[in-house]
Chain A
Amino acid sequence: MVLVFIDQTEGHIKKSSFEVLTYGAKLAAQLGTTAEGLLLGTVNDELPALGKYGIKKVHQVSSDTLNHLDAQVFAKVIAEAVTSTGADTVVFSHNQTGKAVAPRVAARLKAGIVTGASALPDTANGFVVRKTVFSGKAFANVKIDSPIKIISLNPNSYHTAAGEGTAEVVALNIAVDAPKVKITAVNKVSGEVPLTEADIVVSGGRGLKGPENWNILLDLAKELHAATACSRPVADAHWRPHHEHVGQTGIQIAPNLYIAIGISGAIQHLAGVNRSKTIVVINKDPESPFFKAADYGIVGDAFEVVPKLTEEIRKMRAGG
């Protein structure tokens, strides 16, 4: 059986969970078995409706303690759930929670793990999972040799597919330890699309010349319901907050669309964004290395091109 970890926050199931549920159901079909979900804590969402992603059951450990992440507590509960449900394959999202918990579960169960998977495993000859390595510049095919296999899937690398179906919700009775991690505050950037969850990201570099010029980028982001990001020099110069820095040493993202404005595309920047599905580069320097990594480009002055782009998108949306 394939057990899929369903990640939630503030009473709602995360978008990345729908991707792993779809992935887990596809994997189960490939292995000739069934997929089931595992939810820790309590949510307001309708759990039987998760059946539409192809899972038969949702096992729930409904303890309020589990509404906040303590990796040590989570790993123990998940490992027990794996054992008691008899799962031999476990799927996580390679998101913040997955990074904290999945390798712990693997170590606890002595199960081989592939983190950052980008495709379904090849099960024709053993169990070989493809993962991104060298910060997205290559893939490795990694064979798992242990009886229990764990995969954490890169967010935004597998399309959610919903069909028909209802999942049976089963309460799992597992003892939950008292957490050792005491959460004292949560600081969310309100009113903005979270960068790692965004479908579209609009990003600016030194070519915008100064923080006072960010309005054109913010207008475009607003029109596209996009998250905003920036290059490292921009964050280092404090033109934009550090949490917007994408790149090798910043945040790595994989949106459907990445629009880079006035960013030259140094290799360290590309390492943070090269898993994006479509890349658009707007830069006045035709020799900018970013054009080599782009799908679409405009060689031109950002201060002229970006407001026009915002206007054209507005027109297209208005015209339906």
Chain B
Amino acid sequence: MKILYLGALNNYFKQFESDCLRNNYDVIQKESLTDLENIYHDLSIAIVDADFEKSHSSAFVEKIRDYEKKNLITSSIPIIYISENDSIDSREKGFRQGADDFLDKFDSSSILLKINSIIKPNTLWQGINVVVVEDDLISAKFISHVIKTKGANVINFSDGVEAYEYLKGTDEVKVDLILTDHMMPNLSGISFVKKIRNEIGYNTVPIVFISSIENKTEVLDFYKAGGNDYLSKPLIKEELFVKVDQLLSNRFKSKLLERQVNELERVNRVKDQFLAVCTHDLRTPLNTILGLTNLIIEEENIESSTRSYLEQIDKSAGNLLELINELLDLSSLQTGNRDFQLSKLNLVKVIKSSLRNFTAINNKKIHMHFYSSIKDSSILGNETMLLRVFNNLLSNAYKFTPEKGKIFTHVKGDQDWIIVSIEDSGIGIPEKSIENLFNEFSGAGRTGLQGEKSTGLGLSIVKKIIDEHNGYIDVKSTEGKGTTFTIKFSRMKK
């Protein structure tokens, strides 16, 4: 018995193959169906990669179904259509050709679950623990039997109190489903559900209520107590199976997501620490490179070619330093290492001191204009960080504005807000870059008009700092005309 994978021989397949091998399934990979008659009798499932199929303008599912028809095969094999693009179109295409199921290509656990349910239907719920609380022996036996046939473990209790004691000493992760009767001596089903939800604090495990009560208010009480589904007696095997199956597959998925979220959080922390340590250590050798280069440049009797090489080293090392500084800023803002203090400051003063830096280096004769229409520009902020914001925005404006252009910085305000706008007559930002402009590593980093290097990190740092100040930043840009950044800070309450 083999699984046929119709798709490219790539990393995805290798991962899929190893997942299958771990479950003792043999996989064969094909990129065409030319020898279907030789392999068909060995197959138990076919998995068709829709994206591969599309790029090869083929119709694998249809070909398999045609082969079955032509050879009068009545027990056709199940075909799972997988794609990274879950759209109605791709689903429709699969089902129209004759596929049995459609799954997300990268949801490997669902794919394996599906394969398991086809190849080994009696192990569908293997490893699952179900608690059944039922005082009627015949019902209890029936429920246990149905659930056990799919491979789950069943723990039976004839009394709510006993079940409660058991659950109290068990971790919620180890219980996947609880089925409970209502009419029981000692403890009613509703009280039992209330106790496990409220007292033990089980809040994710699904609970199914089994009862012959037809009274709607009582059923409603059960749901209110924290139940998830209801099965009425007499029980029907198929209904029991379908409901339990749905609840369990949701439980699987949420458990899986929880694991993935935890893992992502861990990896993200590692990344932040790595960035913080790494950037700090990267600066140390630069100390020597920049220091010594500068020292030699300042000597008088060196050849002009040597001097120009040294100046290039100095410039490159300077670029590297700027990149590291930006990474360092970003990581310190991200690791929550940000207990920089906020204090009352004069925003106009900060902007002016940043503007002064640019008037000093303004060799493009750009007209830099500043105007403030408010008297009091006090806000609660961190001066170092805000300087970084304005240096960043102004240096962008400078980099992307041609000679003799304009950069207008305007501060205005109303009762609640102080609004700073920085408007340039530069080359503008392409519309497709605007959306991700403030994301880190957006790739939006562009080389300036005089070849200035850019990391693409600057604006994400600006955004983070503005966020820390509970402010807002917005951008409007027209290609060829210019860009305006607008920042809003809340005024300091008097």
Is B a genuine binding partner of A?
no
